[in-house]
Structure 1
Amino acid sequence: MSFPWAEHYRPHHPMMRWLDEKLPLPRLVYNAVGAGYPVPRNLNYFWNFGVLAGASLAIQIVTGIILAMHYAANGLVAFDSVEHIMRDVNSGWLIRYAHMNGASFFFIVVYIHIFRGLYYGSYKAPREMVWLLGVVIFLLMMATAFMGYVLPWGQMSFWGAQVITGFFSAIPLVGEPVRQWLLGGYAPDNDALNRFFSLHYLLPFVIAAVIMLHIWALHIPGSNNPTGVAVQGPADTVPFHPYYTAKDGFGLGVFLVLFSIMLFFAPNYLGHPDNYIPANPLATPAHIVPEWYFWPFYAILRAFTFDFLFVPAKLWGVVAMFSAIALLFFLPWIDRSPVRSANYRPAYRIAFWMLVADVAILAWIGKSPAEEPYVRIGQFAAAYYFAHFLIIVPLIARFETPKPLPNSITESVLHGEAAEAAPLGLAAE
């Protein structure tokens, strides 16, 4: 623990004391999510989304295990096995819709979590490792979601696998062998379906393991906060339990209400109707489009329409798509500003909201046909995305004049004059 004033855990019940001596699980829970973990007292509801991401993963793992009991990873019967789950398995429709929409809600929560980190500077020292592990989780989520989308073996699933894996062939020398290794052949078929099913089942547990590392890395420096000011003493913190367990519980309740509304009243709203048509390798859909959470990166992939410097446009698109995510890895060193929170960085705050608008435009372009004016708009939006991280953020960090920071978290919470009247060592209210 990085907080020296955290109270040492001493179990009172003899049974708990015996367990803590033999296997210190009570002490681990107490120090990780209990009263032994002091947290900045000014966290807002945007800090709920880490817990919501964990809840989303739990929903995906539980529903996925049940679905795996009835799914058949065979190109001849995969589509029919999904229909069997929907029609014949007790509450199968509920489990399948919960898993399908749970993936979308997982990405919604994680995207908000990422943009919260961008706004409040949670990627800055001393939390670089927390941020890097978060980006790894995001990459694992994308791989898991793509493989899961292929499993129903509908028209959009099949052709999505054909198109996305086809982009690997643009990589010189190793691209085509890598594509054949991923698919187990030259085109999506039974081998690809078996591989995707196996990896789709395995990767959520890998994600859970990386999340544990993510939480562990977070507990070393402690949580960031909306001011970006470092914790200076007990007056700046409150115990995680009961203050933030109650706050997270309320946020989880709201999340489950919204999830239930989607699940029971609009379960197919975020899906594609072509995926309710069995896969047909001889009939190409009029407009191949991935799931909505891939749209911004799909737009970047399609932004290159001509060869440049003797490099094919297809390869430029693949490099740009992966670079769009790789930039997030280097963000802690790209942004050199000593101020974390955008609340005190007026120029960066404007750039942040322009980035949010740009990503929204890229998402719109990603779901639109590959024709004008969408292609040209997508090219400008993709160029701005890279300019934000490679040009705008470094320039702002160099020339921006931040607003004055509060002297402490307590001062920002109590608004200055009240903080001066507060006695030192005041317990957080």
Structure 2
Amino acid sequence: MKHNNFTKFNLTFMSTFFIKNIRWNKNYLLSILDSHLIHYPSPVNLSYAWSFGSTAGICLIIQILTGVFLAMHYTPHVDLAFSSVEHIMRDVNNGWLIRYMHANGASMFFIVVYAHIFRGLYYGSYISPRQLLWCSGVVIFILMMATAFMGYVLPWGQMSFWGATVITNLVSAIPLVGENIVYWLWGDFNVGNATLNRFFSIHFLLPFIIAGASVVHLALLHNVGSNNPLGIDSSIDKISFYPYFFVKDLFAFFMFISFFGVFVFYFPNVLGHSDNYIPANPLVTPTHIVPEWYFLPYYAVLRSIPDKLGGVVAMGGALIVLFFIPFTNTSEIRSTTFRPLFKFFYWLLVFDFVLLGWIGQKPVTGLYVFIGQVATVYYFVFFLILIPLIGLLESKLIKSI
């Protein structure tokens, strides 16, 4: 009797679920939600490393919401910008929380995205048929860097002003048109009020462009399907995203929020630069101009080249080279777990990237310059030479067995 009752319950539950699913799919919008978030087929062996994508989406939402609230009280004027930030911190109800969430949220966003990128490199998420998916992710990453740079200028502290001056001046290295582009960026003949207004407008706009690019990125992901730790598309059982991976991503979200909260409530200024809590003064140059920590690896690449134009090309190339990975790859094995030779150079790249970040905050003198140049060479060698070379070597070794 108990067995029959249990069977009847299962049949009733399944029939009710099936009927509700049909009702959902009759509505166009609900059917899209159902196919992409509820019954989206996901490989059964996905680990928590696949939660970085959804966590990055949450970071973007936090940045947009806190940014909109900050824009309600911020004044994009060179005489008022710094004091308006202080007004937000001291006089606006919970303004300190919104500002600290936004400022530290940028760092959290980059931590998650860097982890997402290196996870993609490790598990071969750039290999066919996911070339466009990878490239769309690189576009989002570059847009993030542009948004973060312009946001760093808005408080109009010492590091904001001098950082904007140094970085925008780099564009003047471009032959023929460089100087005109710099004046266009400034909106004047020096970094001033017009520059601040332009950066504020673009900084407000870019997150919504990133959100649109993220939708495209998600659509491309669902078109080809998620990669998995084994790196094979066939012979892997699929299960619906909800509730299995929804719960997994939810747990990752709470872990992230806990980590985020430690910085917001206990160490809100540890990731910032102390000079940026001083109002901008065009007559006093800081002893050591450095960008935010998430720019440091690329800043190190820039400073490792003695020539100004060469440094700009190298820094831009360090980002552009990421687009080449799907097309220079020659390996048919996705997961680095099964590529012992590539694994060694992969972890060397991770160390190299951290080393570049450390060099980026050091003065441009002696040994630091040499280490930065060696680390820069390896960065480009890995993407342009080692990725295709190791793939060819692996193919030959496999055929010889």
Fold conserved (TM > 0.5)? Answer: yes
1:49-68 CA-to-partner distances (Å, cap 9, x unmatched) read 00000000010000000000
Query: Given the alignment of the two structures, is residue 32 of structure 1 paired with residue 33 of structure 2, yes or no?
Result: no
**Match for 1:69 among 69, 72, 81?**
72
User: Counterparts of 2:50 and 2:191 in 1: how far apart (Å)?
Assistant: 41
Amino acid at match of 2:259: L
Amino acid at match of 2:143: L
**SS of corresponding position for 2:242:** helix
Q: TM-score, normalised by structure 2?
A: 0.93
Residue 231 of structure 2 is matched in structure 1 by 228
Residue 354 of structure 2 is matched in structure 1 by 360
**Match for 1:369 among 359, 363, 369?**
363
Deviation at residue 403 of structure 1 after TM alignment: 10
Amino acid at match of 1:267: P
Identity %: 55
Residue 393 of structure 1 is matched in structure 2 by 387
1:82-123 CA-to-partner distances (Å, cap 9, x unmatched) read 000000000000000000000000000000000000000000
Contact 2:157 2:279 in 1 (8 A): yes
1:323-359 CA-to-partner distances (Å, cap 9, x unmatched) read 0111110100111111111011111111100000000
Query: Given the alignment of the two structures, is residue 79 of structure 1 paired with residue 85 of structure 2, yes or no?
Result: no
In the superposition, relative to structure 1, how do residues 172 and 267 fare at CA in structure 2: closer, same or farther (>3 Å)? same
In the superposition, relative to structure 1, how do residues 279 and 28 fare at CA in structure 2: closer, same or farther (>3 Å)? same
Contact 2:331 2:395 in 1 (8 A): no
1:297-339 CA-to-partner distances (Å, cap 9, x unmatched) read 000000112xxxxxxx000000000101111101001111111
Q: Which one has a larger percent helix, Structure 1 or Structure 2?
A: 2
Deviation at residue 393 of structure 1 after TM alignment: 1.6
Where in structure 2 are the equivalents of 1:246-325 lying within 5 Å?
Answer: 246-305=247-306, 313-325=307-319
Deviates more, 1:393-402 or 1:346-355: 393-402
In the superposition, relative to structure 1, how do residues 140 and 122 fare at CA in structure 2: closer, same or farther (>3 Å)? same
User: Counterparts of 1:95 and 1:254 in 2: how far apart (Å)?
Assistant: 20
**SS of corresponding position for 1:82:** helix
Residue 211 of structure 2 is matched in structure 1 by 208
User: Counterparts of 2:344 and 2:301 in 1: how far apart (Å)?
Assistant: 23
Unaligned runs of 5+ in 2: 1-16
Where in structure 2 are the equivalents of 1:324-335 lying within 5 Å?
Answer: 324-335=318-329
Amino acid at match of 2:221: L
Query: Given the alignment of the two structures, is residue 199 of structure 1 paired with residue 202 of structure 2, yes or no?
Result: yes
Deviation at residue 373 of structure 1 after TM alignment: 1.5
Deviation at residue 12 of structure 1 after TM alignment: 4.1
Amino acid at match of 1:262: F
Deviation at residue 238 of structure 1 after TM alignment: 1.1
**SS of corresponding position for 1:400:** helix
Deviates more, 1:178-187 or 1:289-298: 178-187
Query: Given the alignment of the two structures, is residue 243 of structure 1 paired with residue 239 of structure 2, yes or no?
Result: no
Query: Given the alignment of the two structures, is residue 141 of structure 1 paired with residue 144 of structure 2, yes or no?
Result: yes
In the superposition, relative to structure 1, how do residues 330 and 373 fare at CA in structure 2: closer, same or farther (>3 Å)? same
**SS of corresponding position for 1:39:** strand
Amino acid at match of 1:387: V
Deviation at residue 231 of structure 1 after TM alignment: 3.0
In the superposition, relative to structure 1, how do residues 218 and 363 fare at CA in structure 2: closer, same or farther (>3 Å)? same
User: Counterparts of 1:110 and 1:186 in 2: how far apart (Å)?
Assistant: 36
Contact 1:231 1:237 in 2 (8 A): no
Where in structure 2 are the equivalents of 1:151-166 lying within 5 Å?
Answer: 151-166=154-169
Deviation at residue 380 of structure 1 after TM alignment: 0.8
1:166-186 CA-to-partner distances (Å, cap 9, x unmatched) read 100000011111111111012
User: Counterparts of 1:368 and 1:163 in 2: how far apart (Å)?
Assistant: 16
Tell me the number of residue pairs that the alignment of Structure 1 and Structure 2 aligns.
383
**Where has structure 1 moved over 2 Å in runs of 4 or more?**
10-14, 400-404
1:193-244 CA-to-partner distances (Å, cap 9, x unmatched) read 0100000000000000000000000111100001111134xx6111100110
**SS of corresponding position for 1:326:** helix
1:123-170 CA-to-partner distances (Å, cap 9, x unmatched) read 010011110000000000000000000000000000000000010000
Deviation at residue 13 of structure 1 after TM alignment: 5.6
Unaligned runs of 5+ in 1: 1-9, 306-312, 405-429
Q: What is the RMSD of the two structures over their aligned residues, measured on CA atoms?
A: 1.7
Amino acid at match of 2:295: F
Residue 186 of structure 2 is matched in structure 1 by 183
Contact 2:25 2:34 in 1 (8 A): no
Residue 425 of structure 1 is matched in structure 2 by none
Deviation at residue 11 of structure 1 after TM alignment: 7.7
User: Counterparts of 2:371 and 2:20 in 1: how far apart (Å)?
Assistant: 65
Deviates more, 1:279-288 or 1:395-404: 395-404
Amino acid at match of 1:327: V
Contact 1:40 1:231 in 2 (8 A): no
Query: Given the alignment of the two structures, is residue 45 of structure 1 paired with residue 45 of structure 2, yes or no?
Result: no
